[in-house]
Amino acid sequence: MSPRINQRVIVPRTLTGTRFDQIAAELFPDYSRSRLKSWINSGELVVNSRKAKPNSKLSGGELLTLDAEPEQSEQWCAEDIDLDIVFEDQCLMVVNKPVGLVVHPAAGNWSGTLMNGLLFHRPELAHIPRAGIVHRLDKDTSGLMVVSLTLEAQLSLVEQLQERSVARTYHALVHGVPNRQGNVDEPIGRHPAQRTKMAVRGAGAKEARTHYQLLDSYQDFSLMQLKLETGRTHQIRVHMAHMGFPLVGDQVYGRKSTKRELERLPLAGSFARQALHAKALGLRHPESNQTMSWEIDLPKDMDDLLTYLRSSG
């Protein structure tokens, strides 16, 4: 018999005045809105141990408790997956996610994910929403991620992300040579025709800001440093493509290499994944309130490509 879902989370003050069903969708993103609404209506998802209507406005600070029977797709299994742990204490864990590792189980990837590995390494994470995962990286993006190990730490990290006080710095290789530095302030929403993609658009889009700096250039390619102010899905990939400087190897938002690029720099032209790496991470420790930061080297494939570009330039 499958274990019941038993999760608790405190409503951040930043969501004061928001509807219960909307808050539930924000804090329990692993489940569909319709599923969450049915749990609210049935009393399996409650506010401060009491049943509430989906349209009830919450004040922030309430305890949401989810005690429900899982569907088949919600039964995540612990798996012995090697994790590159950069830092770990009683509150949080920082991991260096490798290229190819999916963060969260979904259609086509029900096992072998970071979440499965976290549940094996820390079985108590089964009682924390999303097994403590508070932000994500795409499958083919490498680098640093923070995971909360307690409900209190999760609340703190979610609030820091919402306050935009978490420092996230990426390195990327792009086609072309952008200006030395600047900002991209363009809203991002679901692509109107291709629902698996995101796009810069107006109606229904969410504000998105990326700060960029040119670190080095190699005629047809550039090494960029990018800092996220917001954290929209595929934000860096969408913004850089919108500017006309798509990431090298991006199969979704990129472009095919030109004949000149392929002839002069075949390794760059045939790079198999988006050349994007979450290089540095900074935040306030949830318990001590101390400012902490971590930095990780580029993965081998990007480092090899960078060495190749430098030697060819």
| DSSP H or E stretch at residue 23 | helix 20-27
Measure Cα distances from 20 to 23, 46, 67, 233 in Å: 5, 9, 16, 24
Sign of CA dihedral 27, 32, 37, 43: negative
Please give the positions annotated as active site: 138
3-state secondary structure of 184: strand
Are the C-beta atoms of 94 and 86 separated by less than 8 Å? yes
Q: Retrieve residue 252's tokens.
A: 């979704």
How many angstroms from the chain centroid is the CA of residue 241?
Answer: 19
**Both structure tokens of 220:** 């047809």
Phi, psi of 301 (to 5 degrees): -65, -40
Of 144, 277, 140, residue with least CA distance to 215: 277
Nearest CA among 98, 147, 129, 157 for reference residue 301: 98
Give the single-character DSSP code of 78.
-
Tokens for 152, please give them. 């209190």
